[in-house]
A = this chain, B = another copy of it.
């Protein structure tokens, strides 16, 4: 990264994106903020934790309708025909705003994992696949899941996938077990993109394929929710699933047999950047809470922020947050300037950097709160659990460090 393209140092939002950003902010303040409290309060009114309350869906639809009416729908898609063709850097700035409102992304139809799934369908889907699944996704009528991680093998090595798909006549027959499938619990989730092994005798990176599986296909079983530090995040959840002789038509394969990894490359860059931007939003929030708590309580004759190492902790948090922000923006810019493939090392760098450091900042904010920091009175424990989860999602830290370290050594021809 030493001899860098000067463009990688222009990290400003584009002029073109300014009005979109303004419109998004307005939408969030006027259409999303006002419904948030009622929406989450309804969680306690539901009979079944694994459904939505009808009023919740109604509230959400209202916000979505307003977004559509304002032309703020599906702007995440890079293709100008279906969306606004935002570049990654501009989208990163907007993602940071969305991250401040728990219902923000969904109100604009740009929640994970739908965004990634829609991008994939748009780029590699057949006309029929687009018609059946992309269209209702783009309309916000259904939701989707991405089914990769397995309980029985080390997911850090994506080649380990053990769920099989075997072609029998005109059908793929899928068998295997998956877990931590985020969003698969949502009753609105209708379509799954499943990573499977189709070609065990091919080269290691060409054994895998991705197949579209409607969630209601016989043999698709949801065994239950996986917990994240005691939370199950109902009704969306991170589901444990079994595929038991699940049969789907031959043409449900995406792009072709053995091209599963190729598709992964398409989807992961932008998603990781958005995760990182939202993580930085959490770090800002944690720092803010840390200062507000520590600045308003006294011990030993001083406010807590003035005791011991606390000023230095706050300084270090601020320094790291700013450095991370610049790094994430540069990774987004690298995707715009160099393309996803070349920017891969930048993306791995921020994915390895951000969640780990944000965990530390949240943990320090918890410590400043005393025991209350772990309680339901503050969002910090949930934020910590989410952020700790993120150190596994889309590849554990260790794999991303391997990507970055190896690329660095390769510059010297020594790997």
Contacts and interface: CB of A to CB of B under 8 A. Distances in A.
B300 A405 contact: no
A157 interface: yes
A11 B231 CA distance: 42
A224 B226 CA distance: 26
Nearest to A389: B374
Given A229-B229, A315-B402, A385 B374 contact: yes
Nearest to A12: B9
Interface in A262-321: 284, 287-288, 291-292, 294-300, 303-316, 318-319
A307 B409 contact: no
A256 interface: no
Contact of A382 (B230, B295, B324, B391): B230
Interface in A301-346: 303-316, 318-319, 322-324, 326-327, 329-330
Interface stretch (A163-171, A189-197, A211-219, A364-372): A364-372
B353 A229 contact: no
A323 B321 CA distance: 10
Interface of A: 1-2, 6-7, 9-13, 149, 151, 153-157, 160, 179-180, 226-231, 238, 284, 287-288, 291-292, 294-300, 303-316, 318-319, 322-324, 326-327, 329-330, 349, 352-353, 366-367, 370-372, 374-377, 381-382, 384-385, 388-389, 391-393, 396-398, 400-406, 408-409, 411-412, 414-415
